[in-house]
Amino acid sequence: MDLKETTATSFEALVSNKLRTGLAILGIVIGIGAVVALITLGKGAQDSVTKSISSLGSNMLTVQPGSTNDRGIQGAGGSSATLTLDDAKALSNNPAITAVGAVSAEVSRNFQVTIGRNNGNYRTIGVLPAYAQIRNNTVAQGSFITQDQVNSMAKVAVIGPSVATELFKGADPIGQVISIKQVDFRVVGVTNSKGGNGFFSEDEVVYVPITTAQKILLGTKSVQSISIEAKSADEMVTATNQVGFVLLARHHLSDPAKADFSIRSQADILGAATTATSTLTGLLSGIAAISLLVGGIGIMNVMLVTITERTREIGIRKAIGAKRKDILTQFLIEAIVLTASGGIIGIILGFALSYFAGRFIGISISISYFAPLLAFSVSSAIGLIFGYYPARRAALMQPIVALRYE
């Protein structure tokens, strides 16, 4: 028998028992679909995080309270109150710091924001005017927080476009009064849309003067972080060193290893986020891949049952001249067709699942050729590996024994 005839015979055998064929490929479909969906979603999440972090600002350094160990992991002191607004002022006014272009301190917390019957829970961030420059924020209406408003602890707010839409339902928010923690704030600006990464969106933020946030909303003198913009990418290291030396002196520390603060660049944050998303995607994909092993075992079981049912057919074919390689090839083709078909369906299912899951959690999926090619190759390999034993068993049958089988 030639390959064409053998292939046709294999397809006829599979089509003759549609239910068993469908059940056989189901495990492969689920496994491949899960792997493709997780790889696609993982890549989309990674791209979204990268885009979100990059949009926060170029050449940005972030100073946070608490030390960082050699692996870049924030220590237990990360929540301590070791940074103040005076630290931020010292960094922006110190003549020894030549590589820094702008400095802003921040405090933040989620608060219920209301106007009339409309309300929502939004991240409220106390900032300095330089925050807009450092984070690449621009206003679509009105103006951003000014230094006069910071100095006077003004009760003013700049809101994100999503906040404006949800609270004001299309009405002009400028000059309107919103309530934060039962304190009235006058809206003086609306920022342009920047989007988000599915977990945090700068379009759903309320900005207020940092002094107002500290005194009225939070009752604290410390700040949660200090954002710094280096004058250029080439001066990032210089800026880091200068900021570190000034803060060590202000905190009366002589040993950098005992610093009660940590300085991280955008590259550090981006690297940590990328590593985390990649590790999580790999872990979940590995777990999903276990179902491929289960599917392969299912294919082997089905093929063994099929060979048992078709023992007399095998005997007849051998009696009329079929060679061992013909029988081996036929059953290998059947196994590969089962897994390859499951792989194709699983790829389509995986992309569909990742599309709808991406829309649900708010990230754009990133489709690459790697996932479907890997999935199809793996599914075909599973057919070859798990189909070989049943096919070889069929090929080694003796014609007389097979013909006597009841």
Assigned domain for 267 exists: no
Q: Which residues contact 352 (CB under 8 A, 6 or more apart)?
A: none
pLDDT at 272: 63
CA–CA separation, 195 and 352 (whole Å): 24
Looking at the fold, whether 22 and 133 belong to one and the same domain comes out as no
Looking at the fold, whether 226 and 359 belong to one and the same domain comes out as no
pLDDT at 75: 43
What mean pLDDT is predicted for residues 14-22? 73
Looking at the fold, whether 233 and 339 belong to one and the same domain comes out as no
pLDDT at 39: 78
In this structure, the dihedral spanned by the alpha carbons of residues 349, 350, 351 and 352, taken in order and rounded to 10 degrees, is: 50
Confidence of residue 355 (pLDDT cuts 50, 70, 90): confident
Looking at the fold, whether 185 and 101 belong to one and the same domain comes out as yes
Between 400 and 120, the more confident residue is 120
Say if residue 95's pLDDT is above 50: yes
Looking at the fold, whether 150 and 226 belong to one and the same domain comes out as yes
Of 259, 290, 324, the one marking the end of a domain is 259
Say if residue 115's pLDDT is above 50: yes
Assigned domain for 224 exists: yes
Looking at the fold, whether 103 and 178 belong to one and the same domain comes out as yes
pLDDT at 56: 57
Assigned domain for 90 exists: yes
Say if residue 68's pLDDT is above 70: no
CA angle 134, 144, 125 (to 5 degrees): 70
Segment of 56-70, 212-226, 341-355 carrying the highest mean pLDDT: 212-226
List pLDDT tens digits, range 296-321.
Answer: 777 777 777 777 777 777 777 777 77
Assigned domain for 384 exists: yes
- How much is the mean pLDDT over the chain? 80
Confidence of residue 371 (pLDDT cuts 50, 70, 90): low
How many domains would you assign to the chain? Answer: 2
Assigned domain for 100 exists: yes
Between 340 and 107, the more confident residue is 107
Confidence of residue 124 (pLDDT cuts 50, 70, 90): very high
pLDDT at 200: 65
pLDDT at 69: 47
Confidence of residue 11 (pLDDT cuts 50, 70, 90): low
Between 288 and 109, the more confident residue is 109
- On the CB side of 119, CA atoms within 13 Å amount to 12
Looking at the fold, whether 37 and 92 belong to one and the same domain comes out as no
Assigned domain for 74 exists: no
Tokens of 250: 């202000």
Say if residue 295's pLDDT is above 80: no
Can you state the angle between helices 370-395 and 18-55, rounded to 10 degrees?
150
pLDDT at 130: 94
* Beta strand spans in 27-152 (E): 60-65, 100-115, 118-127, 139-142
Looking at the fold, whether 309 and 288 belong to one and the same domain comes out as yes
Assigned domain for 264 exists: no
Residues 322 and 399 sit within 8 Å (Cβ to Cβ): no
List pLDDT tens digits, range 238-273.
Answer: 988 999 999 999 999 888 888 889 888 766 666 666
Say if residue 387's pLDDT is above 90: no
List pLDDT tens digits, range 35-45.
Answer: 788 777 777 77
Question: What's the domain range around 185?
Answer: 81-259
Looking at the fold, whether 250 and 308 belong to one and the same domain comes out as no
Assigned domain for 76 exists: no
pLDDT at 34: 80
Looking at the fold, whether 370 and 295 belong to one and the same domain comes out as yes
**The model's pTM:** 0.60
Task: Give residue for tokens 């006597």.
Answer: 404
Say if residue 23's pLDDT is above 70: yes
Looking at the fold, whether 332 and 247 belong to one and the same domain comes out as no
Of 237, 259, 281, the one marking the end of a domain is 259
Segment of 107-111, 131-135, 320-324 carrying the highest mean pLDDT: 107-111
Looking at the fold, whether 11 and 101 belong to one and the same domain comes out as no
Of 226, 259, 292, the one marking the end of a domain is 259
